[in-house]
Amino acid sequence: MRKTRFFKWLPTPQSIKQNRFLKPFGHHLHHHSLWQLNRASVAGGVAVGLFFGIMLPIAQVVFAALAAVLLRVNLPVAALSTLVTNPLTFPAIYYGAYKLGAALTGWVGPAQRDFPAPNETAQILAQQSNVGKWLTVLVDWAQSVGLPLITGLLVLAVTAAVCGYFLIDVLWRAHVLRRWRKRHRAPLVRDPGA
């Protein structure tokens, strides 16, 4: 498999075979499409990674890797694409998803309903008798925003996955076309010894 400078740090199938933690899954991880750098495999990996990166707040890489194996798309690209949500982007993405979901579902209600302010949270937790109340309020709050949040996350995740797939597909095709045109425009160099 030929690797470009950008992808030279990707693990090889041989390094996966030799990894003691991944040996039990070895027969699933050796399909050639999981490691190929071609248009369909990379675009599929980006789509899978974006979907699980946005949809799940935890264990994103695990689910993206499992989906990549099942769908036979590039596994490292799928895992790296989950980094779309990170500590810097997570609050904005989830707040945007909540607002989008609220608009799509027509949900109206106070998102902060009886939920303690951050400065009050430490005081409530310090008092053993109020921990149960705080947890009850937290569960009620999560249930009240659950439908809009999940709806918004699903719409964002599917949209990001589809857009990511087609963006990589178009950029890859444009790059190949540009290289093909450049190669055919180059003058033929004749061998002086012939």
Report the alpha-carbon distance of residue 151 to residue 57 in Å, rounded.
Answer: 14
Contact 63, 115 (CB under 8 A): no
Report the alpha-carbon distance of residue 165 to residue 146 in Å, rounded.
Answer: 28
Q: Give the chain's mean pLDDT.
A: 76
Angle at which helix 131-185 crosses helix 118-126, to 10 degrees, equals: 130
> Which amino acid is present at 11?
P
Percent of the chain scoring above 70 in pLDDT: 59
Q: How confident is the model at residue 47 (pLDDT cuts 50, 70, 90)?
A: very high
pLDDT in tens, 176-192: 888 888 887 766 556 66
Mean pLDDT for 146-163 is 91
* Least reliable range by pLDDT among 67-81, 83-97, 116-130: 116-130
Q: How confident is the model at residue 26 (pLDDT cuts 50, 70, 90)?
A: low
Report the alpha-carbon distance of residue 28 to residue 25 in Å, rounded.
Answer: 6
> Which amino acid is present at 72?
R
Mean pLDDT for 76-86 is 89
Report the alpha-carbon distance of residue 80 to residue 171 in Å, rounded.
Answer: 18
Tell whether the model's pLDDT for residue 112 goes beyond 60: no
Report the alpha-carbon distance of residue 16 to residue 8 in Å, rounded.
Answer: 15
> Which amino acid is present at 48?
V
Q: How confident is the model at residue 11 (pLDDT cuts 50, 70, 90)?
A: low
Tell whether the model's pLDDT for residue 28 goes beyond 80: no
Q: Six-digit token pair at 135?
A: 């947890």
> Which amino acid is present at 35?
W
Q: Six-digit token pair at 147?
A: 């439908």
Contact 29, 20 (CB under 8 A): no
Residue of 111, 181, 187 whose CA lies nearest to 147: 111
Report the alpha-carbon distance of residue 66 to residue 124 in Å, rounded.
Answer: 40
